[in-house]
Amino acid sequence: MIGDKVEGYSIIESTVIGNAKFVVGENPQNSIAPYVTWQANMKNDPHSYFWGHYYGDKNTAMADYGDRISQEAQYLKSFQEKKEKPAPYPER
């Protein structure tokens, strides 16, 4: 949730797509990596963040955030397309 604190980072952006949640965190006290993007699993624990990508500037972090959301959307789309394909006719 926006405004939550995680490992010293304040969540400034959050998006849920499917069962995945992606967030951007900001910690101005961290001079090396003041920005991070994380993923969480909405089914298991939406407050347990993993796969952190750490950045020195906000623009790069926001680009990664967008990329992660796009990749998840593409994954869900391809999964749905496979699911909707008609079954082949059985051989005789």
Question: Contact 13/24 with Cβ under 8 angstroms?
Answer: yes
- 73 or 89, greater pLDDT: 73
Position with higher pLDDT, 81 vs 67 = 67
- Residue 16: burial class (beta carbons within 10 Å; 0-12, 13-18, 19+): middle
pLDDT tens column, 19-52: 999 999 999 999 999 999 999 998 888 788 999 9
Answer with the residue of higher pLDDT: 80 or 64. 64
